[in-house]
Structure formats: C-alpha cells, structure tokens
Amino acid sequence: MHGQICIFRTRNSRNSYMAPPILSLVLPSETGRILSIQSHTVQGYVGNKSAVFPLQLLGYDVDPINSVQFSNHTGYPTFTGQVLNGQQLWDIIEGLEANDLLYYTHLLTGYIGSVSFLNTVLEVVNKLRSVNPKLTYVCDPVLGDEGKLYVPQELISVYREKVVPVASMLTPNQFEAELLTGFSIQSEDDGRKACNFLHEAGPSKVVITSINIDGNLLLIGSHQKEKGQSPQQFKILIPKIPAYFTGTGDLTTALLLGWSNKYPDNLEKAAELAVSSLQALLQRTMDDYTHAGHDPQSTSLEIRLIQSQDDIRNPQIKFKAEIYS
C-alpha cells in the first residue's frame, strides 16, 4: 500500500512539471473557446448559468468567471453570497496567463455592477487581444430596462466612451440603446439610427434585442460588414408573452454569439435561430408553470433551460427576419 502511494506521488509530481496539452487549444473546435465573465446563482438560471450551457450545447468550449456567486437571483425576498472585485478578476487572468491558457476566440460579458470591475474587464479585453488580435468581444451592456437603471449612473459613460469602442457585437435592449446613444427610440427608424450611431462608435454588429413600438415587440439587427459602408439591417417581430422571465437577456446574447459565429456573414439568420430558440423555451416555461398550478403573471419566472435543450441545439425557425431595403 505504501509503495502504491509513492508511485502515485511520483507520477503526480512528474505531471506537475509536464502539464498535458490543452486540447481546446491544440485541437480547436470549429466553433471556438469563450471566456464568459458574468454573474452566477446557485439556484436558477441567470448570468453564466443562463449562458454557458446553451453555448456548450452549440459546440463551444466555455470558461466561466463568476463576477458574483449568489444563492439565487436578487428578485427573491433575500439572497446571500460573494462579489468578485476587479483585483480578484485580474488574479484569475494572471493565473491563466501564467499557464499559457489565455488564448480565447471570444469574450462574453453581461451584468457588471461597478466602474472598477468594468475597468478591469477593459484590461482583460486588451490582454486577450494581445494574445489573439482577432478576439471577438460580445458585450451585453446591462444598464437597465423600461426606464429603470440597474447599475450606478457613472457606468453609462464608461460603457459609452470605453466599452462600446472595443466591442465586436453589442446587444442592448431599447432603454440601454437610448442611454448609449442619447437618442429617444420611438420608431423603427429611430432604432436603425441608434444602430448606425453605435457602428460609428465601434461594433460591426448591433442587435437591439427588444423594442416596444406601437404595442409591437421587435428585435432590430444591424451588420456593418466594412467600416464606412451602409449596414445591412433587419427586424424580427416577436410575440409578446404575458409574463416576466429572468435570465432571458443573458440567454439571448449567448445564442446570438453562438449562431452569429456559425453564420458570420448572416446576422439575420443567427437572429432568427436565437429568437426561435428563446420563444420555444419561454413558451415551455409558461406551460410548465401553468401545469404546476402557478399563475405565470403573479411572479417573475425561472426559465426551463435544461428542459429546452433540443430547442437550443436544433431550433425550428418560426420567426423570420424582414430585411430593410
């Protein structure tokens, strides 16, 4: 027995000097390797819990960094947990760098609660691009919704002045697009102008994920394939489901990343797939709560992510993009 332990220790010590190759680097998938910096809840599906699994189903290696670890999302009566600060985030990045593990094809970020953490994320973008200049940075600029801010006011200018210029794809909702552009978005034309303004500032792909216009819910997407060119723009009409769900924005951005990478020159197709997955999942969530005897309009609903994995992997396109001429 003692000899076996010695053998194990010897092997272990030898392996510590000769780390095995990282297969996601040596044998990269056709999809990519994503670093996802988002919140984490033990129970329920928001942030990384809402984004990582769908991206894995679509074939990506995803390395999550949890910006917070909470018992549950903050919409419950109480929550407990820890918040990662900027220095702790940088410590993790340095640990990855020390072992040559910082090659990523994509960076994904969602809710960020402080200016100091957001500034560290900007340092992460620079660091990752120094390793892979072609890094795609997909940013969901989580600021608020329906006129209500979720974050300190001072984050808006940091997003505007520093984050938007380095993002490859931006996925704001209507309120966030208004905050980032300074425009009021009251019409489809306003939404398209907001996309143009954001292209000028940086990202080649902009998807305003939800716009309420005259009682209709729309997604407006815009892809500027070359700087200075007119972008190709489209809309998708989205049915309104009479309920409030948590984690849907995080899931939408993850699906848009996943599909737009598979269809790099066809953002409208990526959006059709993302919207179709999401709508199937939301309908299942509604049906399951109703089946359980719960009124879906009485509380916010946790999405049925695991039960909807077939709709994520192989969505049936039921929502078509209409190209603006």
Overall average pLDDT of the 160-178 stretch: 98
Residues 118, 120, 126, 130: is their CA dihedral positive or negative? Answer: negative
Task: Kindly state the tokens that stand for 163.
Answer: 């984050």
- Cβ of 172: how many Cβ atoms within 10 Å? 28
Task: Kindly state the tokens that stand for 157.
Answer: 């200018």
Overall average pLDDT of the 103-130 stretch: 97
pLDDT single digits (tens) 301-314: 999 999 999 999 99
Checking if the pLDDT of 6 tops 60, the result is no
The amino acid that residue 198 corresponds to is L
How far does CA 186 lie from the centroid of its chain? Answer: 26
Question: From the CA atom positions of the chain, what is the Rg in Å?
Answer: 21
Distance between CA atoms of residues 66 and 37, nearest Å: 6
3-state SS of 152-197 is: CCCHHHHHHHHHHHHCCEECCCHHHHHHHHCCCCCCHHHHHHHHHH
Q: Which residues pair with 218 in a beta bridge?
A: 211, 237
Q: Which residues pair with 137 in a beta bridge?
A: 107
Residues in the chain: 325
* Low-confidence winner among 24-33, 185-194, 244-253 (lowest mean pLDDT): 24-33
Overall average pLDDT of the 69-85 stretch: 94
Checking if the pLDDT of 72 tops 90, the result is yes
pLDDT single digits (tens) 178-205: 999 999 999 999 999 999 999 999 999 9
Q: What is the pLDDT of residue 39?
A: 95
Checking if the pLDDT of 3 tops 50, the result is no
Confidence of residue 254 (pLDDT cuts 50, 70, 90): very high
Q: What is the pLDDT of residue 16?
A: 53
Distance between CA atoms of residues 164 and 39, nearest Å: 20
- The residues carrying an active-site annotation are 250
Confidence of residue 288 (pLDDT cuts 50, 70, 90): very high
Q: Which residues contact 2 (CB under 8 A, 6 or more apart)?
A: none
Percentage of residues of the chain with pLDDT beyond 70: 95
Q: Which residues contact 1 (CB under 8 A, 6 or more apart)?
A: none
3-state secondary structure of 18: coil
Q: What is the pLDDT of residue 18?
A: 72
On average, the pLDDT of the chain sits at 93
> Rounded to the nearest 10 degrees, what angle do helices 248-262 and 267-291 cross at?
140
Checking if the pLDDT of 5 tops 50, the result is no
Distance between CA atoms of residues 319 and 6, nearest Å: 62
